[in-house]
Every structure is written in structure tokens, then in C-alpha cells.
Structure 1
């Protein structure tokens, strides 16, 4: 079965300013590299649809959704925090980003595709149940995981997060939920300065020091993630695929490279084959050096698609 590639042109309309690292060009860089590599043509392309209010309410509070709607500007910008800015196009892009993960879940669960990658923005893993931060508004991966649990009636799902920043929003939403295991690596200390003390038994955190190499990352995966995931036996694997731990990305100080992203993708695919019928849904989080981002996503997708 093919790999789905889900995106939408309107995700590029969300623009927080010329010097902002979370820029529309991120998606263009991915598309360019996929075309150059020849992999673009083997993917099963889909446009995202917007997540509904009901779907967002599975992981966000009514008051939070109302606050975002009320603050959404018509023709200016609204600063949520120093790095997180609402524009007239933001909430549509954010609903499309969350809706892409829902569509990915539905395609995978229907057996139309084996797995899926969502090339969307804004990212989501910093968005807490009732707080926007860190470039994020709706928690895309959490919306998708909740959809798999509630609509497809799965009993156990895993969320794997290898972004260089801790996915505080995903942890806030799923802490103490026995149906979800969250496994993450991230640089510590670094924004959002959390994660080093897990908040629930289902939270498997592996903070990495500045300068940590791909070898150190692989040790954390092999020694910590995989043994816990084998015990948990997830029925679907979600990936918060942040590529800002790449050595060329100046957002932080980890030293991962494309082979590391390919390797961890293979490990997760093998786990999914054993426990989840091969079902994997991946969605873009960070990655801000555009060339490294394009190469890293291509390496990730080559493994997902078996090319």
C-alpha cells in the first residue's frame, strides 16, 4: 500500500513575518526536495480538510477555542506571545493542519494507505489544552490521536516526538491517560524548559544535553523508548516529526543528521509492523533550516514509503 502525503496550499497563507523562522517557505522546501529526489511521484497525494469544532474539543477546552476565535484578526495581527502570532489566515491554516492528521488516520484505518505524512503548518505540539505557545495553536497530533481513540475505538496509541523542543502541549493533554504513551527526545535545557520531570507514568521522556550526537539519540531510542513501547503494544503510532534537532539547524544544539531520521523511522515502522498492523501517522512539527528540513523529510518519507 502507498504512503499518503497530505497538505494544503492554504497552510502557507499563515505568515508571522519575514524574519520568523516558522515561515511559509518550509512547505515549499519540502516539496522542492521531494521533487528533486524523485519520491514525489510515488506518494498518494491528498488535500487536508479543516478539523471541526467537535474534533478540536476532544483535546482543547471550549473557552480556549472561543478565545482564539475572538482574537483572530480580520486585517492585522495579534501577538499571543513573543513568537506566536495570529494573522487573518492563521486559524484556517491551523484547522487544516489538525484536519490533515484526522484525514491521515481515516485513510490508514480504512486500509487505503499503510501510513501517512502530513506536511502542514502551523505546528502543534506546544499547544496545551487551553494555551497557545511556541508557534502552535491547535495540537495537531493530539487531535489525530484522540480521533483514533474515540472514532476508530483503538485502545492504545503511541505518540513519538523527536523535535528538538519538548512537546509540552501533547504531555499536558495526555498526561495520565493510560490509552496514550508519549515518548520524546528533546534538548534540555531549552524552550519550553519542561519535560525533564515527566508528569505521568505514560510519559517516557529522554532529555538530551546540548551537543548530543545522533549516537546519543539512538541510545535513548533503543534503551528507553523501544522497551517501553514493546510493553505498551500500541495499535497505532503517531509521530510528531520535528527536524530542528538537525546539526545544520541553528534553533538549538543537537547534532542529528538525515541518517538518524531515517534510522528512527525504520525502528518505528518495525514496531508498527509487530503491534499496529503497520499503521503510522506522522505530522510535521519543527525544522527551520530549509535545506536540512527538505532533506530530512525526504529521508523520513523514503523509509515510510519503502523507496
Structure 2
């Protein structure tokens, strides 16, 4: 079965303005990877919009109203110093969150086994009530709630290897033992959260890495703590916040991972999924701001999820 890839043209139309790192060129780079002859065959699916009901499972009504009402007549509106909305942003955000819900429905119904959501804006910094860190809605959290509340899943694991800690995801699920959230991230670095001491109700596992950390430290974090924790949790669905900004080429951080590290971690996670949840994996794009690294790493991730 081909890997299902969910995206939408609206994800190109979210424009945070000149010089902003979360630019439309990112989704262009991802699509270039998907069209490369070295990329294994995929099944493309147009992403639907998230519904208000789906968003309200993890976001406050006030937050949803703020985002939906933020569209400027022209130009840009700043929700904070980094998080910018233009005329195409709300549609992109609805499609991004909707893509993950749609992927969950397909995977849980047996329509596909694994999925990648090639969407932007990213989501893992958005808390229940605040848009931040380039993120409007928390795409992976909205999708996890879809799995829990619509499909009756009792254990969802979310693995976040973006270089920045997914504070929004951790905050949303900190008191929900049905969700295991694990993260490797550079520390200190924005947003300043994700300490090892932050455990939630025993369902948050943080592995901060120092600036300059390389493949051996990244892989050791998975081999010694994260993979054993995932194995013990025995998820019924495994979800990935796939940020590729821990790559050594990325301009916004200082980890020194190689493209092959993303292929390696994807294969390890797939093995966990094969053991515990019939191979069910849903991955959603987060960060990655070197276009070269983003193209290469996306292809490595896609091919690993496709079984190569």
C-alpha cells in the first residue's frame, strides 16, 4: 500500500511576509522531495478543512475565534512577534489541522496504514489558548483527539523530533494519560520548555540535547529512553511531529544531525508501530528552515515510512 500524503494548495498561500523563515518556499521544497524520482510512490490526497468541533477538542473557543477572525483585509497581522497571519493563513491552518484528522480517519478505518501530512503552518507550539512559534492550531493534537474521541483509541503516542520543544502539545496533553508525548529538542532554545523534570502525569518524556549534539547523542536518547518508553506504552496509534530543523544545515538552531538520522529514527518508530499497532503511523510536518535539508530529510522520512 502506498504511503498516503495529505496536502492542499492553501498551504502555499499562508504568507508570513518577506524574510520570515516559515515561508511558502518550505512547502515547495517538500513537494520537490515528493516528486523526486528517488522518492518511493505515494498516494496524494487533498486535505479537508478541520471542523470547529474538531478544533474545540483541544483549543478554547476564544482561541479559535481569535485565529478565525485574524485575517487582515490586506498585508499582515501579527499575533505575536513571530506568528503572522495574511489573507491565506486561516484557510491553510484549517487544512493543516484537517489533514491530520483525515489521516487519522483513514488509518483507523483501514483505508491506509501510514500517512504523511505535508502541511503548513506547523502546529506543535500552539497551546489550547495561544497561537505562537509560527503555529496557529496544534495540528498533531487535533488529530490525536480525533483518534481518542472518534475512534475510541485508548493509547496514542506522539513523538516529536523537531529541534524546538513542542510546548503546545505537551501542555494540551499534560494531564491526559492516554497520550504519551516524547520529545528530543535543543536546550536552551525557544520556547524554553521541555526540561527532563516536566513529566505531566507520567506521560511526558523529554530528552533535551545541548547545542552541537550530533547523531550519537540523538540516537542514544532514543535507544536508551524513548524507544523503551514507547515499547512499554504499547501505543494503538503512533503519531510524529516531524520537524527537520535539527539538521546541521538549519539556520534557526544548532544541532548537528544528518539526513540519515531522520531516516534512522523513522525506521525505529515504524518498528514500534509494527509491533504494537499494526504499523499505524501518522506524521505531520513541523519545522525545517534550510530548504536543502528539508528536501533531503523529507525524502528520507517518506522513504523510511514507505518501508525502504
| TM-score bracket for the superposition, by shorter chain length | over 0.9
SS of residue paired to 1:82: coil
Secondary structure at the aligned position of 1:169 is classed as helix
Equivalent residues in 2 for 1:223-234, closer than 5 Å? 223-234=224-235
RMSD: 1.0
Deviations 1:263-296 (A, max 9, x none): 1001100000111110000000000000110000
- 2:43 counterpart residue number: 44
User: Equivalent residue of 1:81, what SS?
Assistant: coil
Distance in 1 of aligned mates of 2:34 and 2:65 = 38
* Per-residue deviation, residues 139-187 of structure 1 (Å, max 9, x unmatched): 0000000000000100000000000000000011000201000010000
1:75 Cα deviation from its structure 2 partner: 2.0
Q: By how many angstroms is 1:199 displaced?
A: 4.4
Q: How many angstroms apart in 2 are the aligned matches of 1:102 and 1:167?
A: 19
Of the structure 1 ranges 75-84 and 28-37, higher mean CA displacement relative to structure 2 is found in: 28-37
Number of matched pairs: 306
Q: What SS is found at the alignment partner of 2:96?
A: helix
Tell me how far apart the structure 1 counterparts of residues 108 and 213 of structure 2 sit (CA, whole Å): 36
What SS does structure 1 have at the residue aligned with 2:69?
helix
| Alignment gaps of 5+ in structure 2 | none
TM-score of the aligned structures, taking structure 1 as reference length? 0.98
Cα displacement string for residues 73-127 of structure 1 (whole angstroms, at most 9, x for unaligned residues): 2223211111101112111100000001011111111212210000000000000
Aligned to 2:211: 210
Aligned equivalents of 1:67, 1:93: Cα separation in 2? 15
CA distance in 2, matches of 1:262, 1:101: 21
- Counterpart for residue 127 of structure 1: 126
Offset, 1:34: 2.6
Superposition pairs of residues 1-307 of structure 1, within 5 angstroms: 1-39=1-39, 42-196=41-195, 197-200=197-200, 201-307=202-308
- Off by >4 Å, runs of 4+ in structure 1: none
Query: In structure 1, how many angstroms separate the alpha carbons of the residues matched to 2:189 and 2:292?
Result: 23
Give the secondary-structure state (helix, strand or coil) at the position aligned to 1:37: coil
* Structure 1 residue runs without a partner (length 5+): none
Write the distance in 1 (CA, Å) between the matches of 2:59 and 2:121. Answer: 16
Shift of 1:232: 0.8
TM-score (norm 2): 0.97
Cα distance, 1:70 vs structure 2:
3.0
Q: Is the contact made by 2:17 and 2:76 (CA closer than 8 Å) also made in structure 1?
A: no
